[in-house]
Structure 1
């Protein structure tokens, strides 16, 4: 991949639970960091067609490998241009090892 393909800003969010002063718990999402990424929408396979029937859009999100990106897990989510993608797997290294790729579904 070259630098020109990393054309989207993706904010990665982690799940948080905050205890209120009344003893309750509020669950939500907290921004962890924002990275330049390449987002490739999947199309064509039978699984992708089934996902589209239920209004889901599977994507592969690719980011440069870094200290920050190494901490991403499948429990996080990615926000791309206001669209939320749940990460369906932990990031895996690309063939050359310089990038991380992850499957998301929005």
Structure 2
């Protein structure tokens, strides 16, 4: 059975960032990441499965980042990314799942992959 979640499991501070076109004022447009909000989060490392093991061979790390469900966290899409505020690691969001009790949102993420 899965480990019970509680506020005590939210060890990490993360920022949710969305890609946005930015105008430099001279008519040029560049794309950059804009922080939308910050939240406390917990991490669950993915350890098994062929896809997870194959990703590790390519230098990628797969994990689930979970946060409390809120209007902000429900607005996140897989086009966004998550940044760990402590060490600056970037996690690309691959899938989003709301738990059956609707209290938590799970973000299946990968680190160590090129931005896309």
TM-score grouping bracket, smaller chain normalisation: over 0.9
Correspondence 1:40 to 2:44: yes
Match of 2:65 in 1: 61
User: Which deviations, in whole Å up to 9, do the C-alpha atoms of 1:39-92 show, x marking residues without a partner?
Assistant: 111112111110001111011011100111111100000012311000012x22
Q: 1:85 aligns with which of 88, 91, 108?
A: 91
Match of 1:97 in 2: 102
Q: 2:6 aligns with which of 2, 20, 44?
A: 2
Query: Shift of residue 18 of structure 1?
Result: 1.1
Distance in 1 of aligned mates of 2:25 and 2:105:
40
Q: CA RMSD in A?
A: 1.0
Match of 2:114 in 1: none
Report the TM-score, using the length of structure 2 for normalisation: 0.85
Query: Shift of residue 21 of structure 1?
Result: 2.6
* Runs of at least 4 residues off by over 3 Å: none
Query: Shift of residue 22 of structure 1?
Result: 2.5
Unaligned runs of 5+ in 2: 112-116
Unaligned runs of 5+ in 1: none
